Amino acid sequence: MMDQDPKSTGSTTAIEHRSFARIGFLGNPSDVYFGRTISFTIGNFWASVKLEPSEHLVIKPHPFHDLVQFNSLDHLVNRLGNEGYYGGVRLLMAICKVFRNYCKDNAIQLHQRNFTLSYDTNIPRQTGLSGSSAIVSAALSCLLDFYNVRHLIKLQVRPNLVLNAEKELGIVAGLQDRVAQVYGGLVHMDFSKEHMDKLGHGIYTPMDISLLPPLHLIYAENPSDSGKVHSRVRQRWLDGDEMIIKSMEEVGNLAEEGRTALLEKDHSKLVQLMNRNFDLRRKMFGDECLGAMNIEMVEVARRIGAASKFTGSGGAVVVFCPEGPSQVKLLEEECRKTGFILEPVKIAPSCLNDSDIQSLG
């Protein structure tokens, strides 16, 4: 989402962009296995990045997420236990490096003026809502405008830049989240091997957000059990494990069936597809890998007859109550009992402007 006046895209005024949390609706995690997915951005949570022209190039630490001053040793240790070692500074540095190298490799001239980058985010940690990539995506948008190169870097390529910045830091992920956040709104994505080999990216098709039924989000305030066991699914897929290959193929096909179900407003089909998506993930990854708390979030919704699945790889769950408000009331009660947070999903519409659409060619 653009927060600045389009006329101020030169390099003399402050530029600010938001990038929203995303929900993987159907087909995940097949995006890293040449599959297909449907995802959308939500207005419930976002990251924002501000770029201000300055004499030196400065990456500003966040006063909370990059805390370096503590009341005591105990405070430091507790803080690391809850928040981990990493804030957003490293993400901003990584996208600056990837952006500059991409421009250099593609003969895109950049002016020599400097800037200060700062960020903020309200995306809950470890909830599988793509908090890290939201910061990177918002920062990339600021850089595109500061250097006035939005029209020179294709929209389809930008998710790769976001992912490459995260890969710099050892973050293992696929393109799905970055596509959703770069495009905004509801997007169908086809990552078939043919497209990935030939184009270096998938085929991304925006869809009308009004096709989505009312949805809810369940997450935990302190996601302590997010599945600590390292998954061997990727290696098994590479080794030709027939069960993994067939299951992942079926997961990708769910997105194709989901696109038809959305277009036809076939909500009973959506219920089946969402539940099947989670069941296939559970079959491939196993309960120990998924984590007891994550599984319980899914089960809470299923106990009252709602459809549910992970938004990402765990930490939060997207829920569809096909029976409407009365079923939502039951879900609210179940979440109260179990201590989970429940809120209605607010769909964030597409954030593309004329320059973005022009870059599609």
The residues annotated as belonging to the active site are 177
CA angle (57, 60, 66) in 5-degree steps: 145
CA distance linking residue 95 with residue 83, whole number of Å: 22
Q: What are the φ/ψ torsions at residue 109 (nearest 5 degrees)?
A: -75, 135
Under a CB-based contact definition with an 8 Å cutoff, are residues 20 and 42 in contact? Answer: yes
Under a CB-based contact definition with an 8 Å cutoff, are residues 159 and 129 in contact? Answer: no
Question: What H or E segment, with its residue span, contains residue 264?
Answer: none
Under a CB-based contact definition with an 8 Å cutoff, are residues 227 and 314 in contact? Answer: yes
Under a CB-based contact definition with an 8 Å cutoff, are residues 340 and 297 in contact? Answer: yes
Question: What H or E segment, with its residue span, contains residue 176?
Answer: helix 176-183
Q: What is the DSSP string of 110-170?
A: ----EEEEEEEE-PPTTSSS-HHHHHHHHHHHHHHHHTT-GGGS-TTTHHHHHHHHHHHTT
Report whether the peptide linkage leading into residue 124 is cis, meaning its omega lies within 30 degrees of zero: no
Give Cα separations from 159 to 13, 42, 44, 65, 358 (angstroms): 26, 18, 22, 24, 17
Residue of 15, 41, 19, 40 lying closest to 149 (CA atoms): 15
CA distance linking residue 148 with residue 150, whole number of Å: 6
3-state secondary structure of 108: coil
